[in-house]
Amino acid sequence: MSKLINFFYFLLKVLSKITGQSFSFSNDGEDFVLFKYLAKIKKGNYIDIGSHHPVKGSNTFLFYLLGWKGICVDPLPSLKKKYRFLRKSDKFINAGVIGSNSKTQNNLKFYYYKKHTDNSTFDSKRVEELNNKFGREPSSIISVPKISVSEILSYNKKYLIDNEELYLLNLDIEGFEIDILDDFFSLNIYPWVVCVEEIGHTAETLKSGDVYQLMKKKGYMLGSRTFLSSVYILKNKLSYLPSPYIKELVI
């Protein structure tokens, strides 16, 4: 399998050189933005919560091709075999992540959207929003295993290359961002870069959001914004990033 991944990466490099076109696996180019900050880190690591498909729409697959490794977590039942085949070096956990501050964490229902699997969520308010805006209704409500942030981190010595530092945290969890971030910070885990989906905001309104306020309080700066995702950088790590691209930033 590693030979297939290496060939895939080689093919992309050749195509990029011939066409002058880069190839993004993310939905809105998040992996390109993240690479601008994290370039030149040869043996990096990530935790990807709400990772969805291992390749299509992935914010971390580009880094996997570059030799990074980490932990991917998603409750969708159809993904286990795909990760085993396409991202063998990663630890895939087929479960939903529930924050310790969630008052209903033991009773949460997982609303599954068969035609729009990326909309699947534990958040009943998000279900109402999807119905009101797009006329989408969950195809079923299913029971899935649940896991905590501390349980995820118990795998870090084996699956995170540098277990003293977490370089990238990607969150796409449909409404539970604050709970999950709070758990990381309470465990004294401060990822260098955090990419989090913030639905319902434009770049102009982000500063009024709860995620922005929390990240600012914890020492992060808003580095970039794509269509739905925000990229936050831990300020005290910015000078340690070896990426040549950040020289263009005025800090």
* CATH number, residue 218: 3.40.50.150
For the chain, give the mean pLDDT. Answer: 84
Going across the sheet that includes 45-49, the strands are 91-93, 69-73, 45-49, 168-171, 193-197, 229-234, 220-225
Q: In the numeric block, which tokens belong to residue 223?
A: 């580095």
Quick: pLDDT tens for 47-90: 999 999 999 999 999 999 988 999 999 988 889 899 998 999 99
Bridge partner list, 57: 26
150 domain-assigned: yes
65 domain-assigned: yes
The C-alpha atoms of residue 155 and residue 164 are separated, in whole angstroms, by 13
Quick: pLDDT tens for 31-52: 999 999 999 998 899 999 999 9
For the entire predicted model, the pTM comes to: 0.84
pLDDT category at 176 given cuts 50, 70, 90 is: confident
Please determine, for residue 230, whether its predicted confidence score (pLDDT) is greater than 90.
yes
At 112, phi and psi to the nearest 5? -100, 130
127 domain-assigned: no
113 domain-assigned: no
What's the number of domains the chain is made of?
1
136 domain-assigned: no
165 domain-assigned: yes
Range of the domain at 166: 2-102+146-248
The C-alpha atoms of residue 215 and residue 210 are separated, in whole angstroms, by 9
177 domain-assigned: yes
The residue with tokens 């085949």 is 85
44 domain-assigned: yes
Residue from 92, 20, 18 nearest 55 by CA: 92
